[in-house]
Amino acid sequence: MSTPTTGAAGFIVFLLMLISVRLVVSISEGDILDVSETLKDLKIRDLSSSVSKLEDRIFALLLLRPAGGEKTGLERQTRQGLEERVQALEEFMQAVNQREGPRVCERGMGNNVTTQYPPYLILSDSTIEKDILCDTHTDGGGWIIIQRRTKGDVDFYRDWAAYREGFGSLTGDFWFGNDAIHNLTTQGAHEVRVDLRIDGQEVFAYSTRFLVRNEGNAYRMSLGSTSGTAGALGLWFSNDMKFSTFDRDNDPLPDFNCAKHHQGAGWFAKCHKNNINGIWGEKSSNGVSWSDGRSWKFPNFTEMKIRRVNSQI
């Protein structure tokens, strides 16, 4: 399977080959359509850098022309053909971006954050009719925060309906809401990251994929490959688990409700290696806790965040 980078690089090489071939023959509109058809198949999101590299390359090729500009009709035709092709690519890219729709937290937004709450930004999203807190800072930004514990001002021991709808405040501690998380993670592939501060040290867990099913499937959650400085087990242990609350026992243990027993809520297995929705300030596995497989840690800052995966081929 090719990665987005090698796919995009291969694609540029392909375009350059097309161009160099066309430099010696004339260019027809049909060629431009061919390129567009290829683009549709590739489904690359970040084409803009490919196009600007292409423009640079065309410019360089034109500079190789003898002084005095185009000497022949063929040269003029070639240049016009190349310019048309770039324009067609740009229009196609715009169409691709529009079809994907606006995205609330874009990577790179952090260079321009002026809100009261840096490096975060609150934006509203029409598709889920909810305000969203963006982490515009971590690993290039672009993250939608779905869970946050920073001061312990919000009770997280809540029922199924509360976790479905979400609670708390975006400027403090909150759970974003399982329906909204489901809706977001089914609009394209997402990655997930959990940032933790443990005894003043910042660590994280990360997974290449994060998908939450609908309520009918008890918000069952799937991960991709998992890594990070916090010990990936804390996250990985929840892979393929359903969501549980004290009033909705969906964990795989018969006759035992992990959410109730550990006074939290989440994607419990038998039972957990993280309880980031547990009791604030409590130093046990009922508290806000994380295990790397060797020992329990008690973070006093947690943020779980998701980001749409770019440039999929």
Ligand X SMILES: *[C@@H]1O[C@H](CO)[C@@H](O)[C@H](O)[C@H]1NC(C)=O
Task: Classify the C-alpha dihedral 103-166-269-151 as positive or negative.
Answer: positive
Decide if residue 199 touches ligand X (CB under 6 A).
yes
Nearer to ligand X, 90 or 125 (CB): 125
Part of the chain binding ligand X (CB under 6 A), chosen from 30-38, 42-50, 70-78, 177-185: 177-185
d(CA 86, CA 54): 8
Site string for ligand X, 111-150 (x = CB under 6 A): -x---------------x----------------------
Residue 84, H or E segment: helix 73-100
Decide if residue 183 touches ligand X (CB under 6 A).
yes
Q: Cis peptide before 134, with omega less than 30 degrees from 0? A: no
The answer for 290, left when phi > 0, alpha when psi is -120 to 50, beta otherwise, is beta
Q: How far is the CB of 103 from ligand X (least distance, A)?
A: 14
Identify the residue among 19, 134, 146, 180 touching ligand X (CB under 6 A): 180
Decide if residue 173 touches ligand X (CB under 6 A).
no
Q: How far is the CB of 272 from ligand X (least distance, A)?
A: 22
Q: How far is the CB of 221 from ligand X (least distance, A)?
A: 17
Part of the chain binding ligand X (CB under 6 A), chosen from 67-75, 178-186, 216-224, 255-263: 178-186
Residue with tokens 């297995």: 269
Decide if residue 191 touches ligand X (CB under 6 A).
no
Residue 143: phi, psi to the nearest 5?
-95, 140
d(CA 206, CA 304): 10
Nearer to ligand X, 112 or 116 (CB): 112
Nearer to ligand X, 10 or 172 (CB): 172
Part of the chain binding ligand X (CB under 6 A), chosen from 21-29, 32-40, 175-183, 240-248: 175-183
d(CA 158, CA 87): 54
Decide if residue 179 touches ligand X (CB under 6 A).
yes
d(CA 117, CA 22): 53
Nearer to ligand X, 11 or 298 (CB): 298
Decide if residue 36 touches ligand X (CB under 6 A).
no
241, 248 in Cβ contact below 8 A?
Answer: no
Helix then strand then coil, % of the chain, to nearest 5: 35, 20, 45
Decide if residue 300 touches ligand X (CB under 6 A).
yes
Bridge pairing between strands 143-149 and 120-125: unpaired
Per CB under 6 A, residues contacting ligand X are 112, 128, 151, 177, 179-180, 183, 199-200, 300
